[in-house]
Amino acid sequence: MMNRTRIKKTILTILTVSFIGAILMIGFDYYACSLYCKRIASFFNDTVDRSSDAVVVFFGDHDKKLELGGETIRRLSHAAALYGSGKTSNIVCTGGRGLLRLRCVSGAELMKNYLVAAGISPDHIFAESESYDSLSNWEHSLAIIAVNRWKRITLVSSALHLYRLAGIVHGDSLAISYSPYPAGGISSFRDYLARRYWIHHEWMAYAAITVLPQKWYRWALGVMRR
């Protein structure tokens, strides 16, 4: 009888400690995410949509049907709006090489098709299908930029992604600006989870590229996404 009582008390203690630990971790994560979002908002506080020779829009995700996901469409819609307002003359679509293996078309090509369907001339849309992460996205986009001798470039993505890209992009004699798509408010628990997902995605990506030697990082990403 005593043994059963002790076992119950032990289980109750473990459950209580685990519950309190989970609450503390959730609270800390919420606080850290909030601080991070404030820092990003401050970084882009003075961002203006400058005119550019081209915008580079980055592949974000796909859905279960292997079509463009909501994150990618938000990025494309913003790029199309910049084009429609005369803020840019060309659009470079980059990323999504992993879809080649899944459906024989890259994410960048799907992005181009989306923009053409939105009424943008295919003569002003460029797509590269070789890249699979932010580093290779930019490297392959630079090749297109160099061939066309563009000098003013605007990067289009989410504010979260652009904040990390600011530490990656480079280019001699290039004037680079950032234009995050307008972020809507959180109107549902699903929106909240999606926002947290992308924050943690950026944290993990930043940690991987910072901690791992570049050779290992590229090998691991290449295996996962090609």
Q: What are the tens digits of pLDDT across the range 140-164? A: 999 999 999 999 999 999 999 999 9
Lowest mean pLDDT among 32-41, 80-89, 150-159: 32-41
CB of 157 closer than 8 Å to CB of 58: yes
In angstroms, the CA 161 to CA 68 distance is 17
**What is the DSSP code string of 156-206?**
EE-HHHHHHHTTT---TT-EEEEEEPPPPP--SHHHHHHHHHHHHHHHHHH
Looking at residue 1, what is its pLDDT? Answer: 52
Could you tell me the two tokens for 113? 């098709």
> pLDDT (tens digit, 9 = 90+) per residue, 201-215?
888 887 777 777 777
In angstroms, the CA 57 to CA 204 distance is 21
